[in-house]
Amino acid sequence: MNDLAVHLTDGKDKHLYEQIYEYIRDEIKGGKLLDGEKLPSTRSLAGYLQVSRSTVELAYDQLLSEGYIESVPYKGYYICRAEELYRLCVQPEEPGQEEDDAGSRTQPSAAFLGRCGRESGTGRSCEIDFSPNAIDMNAFPFGTWRRITRETLNDDRKELFSLGQSKGDAGLRLTICRYLHSSRGVNASPEQIIVGAGNDYLLLLLQHILGRNICVAFENPSYRRAWRIFSSFAAKTAVVASDANGMRVDSLKESGANVAYCMPSRQYPTGTIMPIGRRMELLKWAGGAEGRYLIEDDYDSEFRYRGKPIPSLQASDREGRVIYVGTFSKSIAPAIRISFMVLPPRLLERYEKNCAFFSSTVSRIDQTILDEFIRSGAFERHLNKMRKLYKEKHDLLLEELKPLLTKYRLSGEYAGLHVLLTSRGAAQEEELIRRAAQEGVRIYGMDEAALTPAGKKEGKSAATLLLGYGGLDREAIREGVRRLRGIL
């Protein structure tokens, strides 16, 4: 069972344990938590929500006393197998009754890709690559993946070799739907989920759903690959201003865009986390005119090392204006090539009309393996392991960078797989990157993510460097920063 995306308030109006209790109770009543399903342990949930363990225990005790859950010695807490309760709680809506929320509604740029291993231009190849897009494949659960693959193929399931549903297999879409709701607060039905081979395919699919006569707004800098994809078919793309809170809505209004591409949980590459006030402004903008939509790229959202989990923007959407896009590339492996998109109801109708004839781009065998990997709990265990591993690397990198903080300002820490160093002086990015390459170290500049020349820093403005740590071991981090300290 994944951790639960309980949105806690400060506890002044209602105790924290009551909020947790009511959330789980309502999830059971709404059929989002199924009978027989295991709940997170009190220790795990307390750590995830950043509350005391006794707070979670009080919530579980209340659920136990009311018969919603049961405690199995040495195993944990489970949703009670109560068919009568389920039928009572999930009654069809009366005519005229308002629908609930659920019913109503990277790849880096070429400049960022694997340049380490090529010659740096100085006759010395890059030995240490601080790529912000690399992950640690040494920790991949090969044994578990191999076992699930073997079991999948040993059953002689002929149906796995057919095309399957264009949206993706129903079982996987249900599993993804439940995972997104528990971990990111996403409100959707499995029918709203489209599974595709990578984000590129899903974004290209939007030209058949949104049409070509759209204007798509991006922050600058941003995810260049998405910008290039939309530039290839959209009538217009616009670059809008951003600040410490993310995309500025006043600039968005002036751009004339009717679609905005945003990364509220952690903007790439700046690491900005959009506060609730700005999120509400964006949702208000989207709801202000017919045909406006927000594309929420939730890449990197699984890795957060301090504070409470941040819900998705889609979780706050009440008007069906958010298109949610996610991937398993960083949480599992890039080669999995399985991404997903959650369409609001109105766009789902367009998909059914204009795109249902497309065949699925993901093998049914791969879908079945991933489905079992998630449902068996192996994905949750792997994710918890990677969070711990990446946090250790993150903390080590921050410790090693301390001597540089007299000349550089650190930002973007405590989440994702890279941090940013901004010069307090007038250093130029290209010069710093060149000097690092001479030492056999590959680093990356913010200018490489600029969408237009206007997004690049000119003259003597402060340089910003991106240092990724996901693909490096501890010794490489130490040695890489040691070399950087000599030239930065």
Query: Which residues make Cβ contacts (< 8 Å) with residue 126, sequence separation at least 6?
Result: 115, 116, 117, 118, 120, 437, 440, 441, 442
429-462 pLDDT, tens digit each: 999 999 999 999 999 999 888 887 655 554 446 8
Per-residue pLDDT, 122: 40
What distance lies between CA 171 and its chain's CA centroid? 21
Per-residue pLDDT, 82: 52
Element holding 148 (H helix, E strand): helix 142-154
Query: Structure tokens of 53?
Result: 């363990």
Per-residue pLDDT, 10: 75
Confidence of residue 385 (pLDDT cuts 50, 70, 90): very high
Determine the 3-state secondary structure of 128 from DSSP: strand
Confidence of residue 403 (pLDDT cuts 50, 70, 90): very high
C-alpha span between 43 and 41 (Å, rounded)? 5
Res 159 pLDDT > 70:
yes
* % residues pLDDT > 70 (the chain): 88
By CB neighbour count within 10 A (0-12 exposed, 13-18 middle, 19+ buried), where does 301 fall?
A: buried
49: nearest Cα among 197, 176, 183, 202: 183
122-153 pLDDT, tens digit each: 444 578 999 999 999 999 999 999 999 999 99
pLDDT, average across residues 106-126:
40
Per-residue pLDDT, 173: 97
* % residues pLDDT > 90 (the chain): 67
C-alpha span between 31 and 33 (Å, rounded)? 5
369-380 pLDDT, tens digit each: 999 999 999 999
Per-residue pLDDT, 457: 53
**For the chain, which residues make up each domain, given as ranges?**
16-89, 115-140+385-485, 146-380
Confidence of residue 106 (pLDDT cuts 50, 70, 90): very low
225-251 pLDDT, tens digit each: 999 999 999 999 999 999 999 999 999
By CB neighbour count within 10 A (0-12 exposed, 13-18 middle, 19+ buried), where does 454 fall?
A: exposed
Domain 115-140+385-485 has CATH 3.90.1150.10: yes
Domain 16-89 has CATH 1.10.10.10: yes
Of 3.20.20.210, 3.30.420.40, 3.40.140.10, 3.40.640.10, the CATH number of 146-380 is: 3.40.640.10
386: nearest Cα among 175, 184, 177, 138: 138
DSSP 119: B
Query: Structure tokens of 410?
Result: 């650190």
Per-residue pLDDT, 52: 92
Per-residue pLDDT, 8: 87
DSSP 340: E
Per-residue pLDDT, 81: 67
Res 83 pLDDT > 70:
no
Q: How far is CA 291 from CA 130, 285, 480, in A?
A: 41, 11, 49
Per-residue pLDDT, 189: 96
Determine the 3-state secondary structure of 411 from DSSP: strand
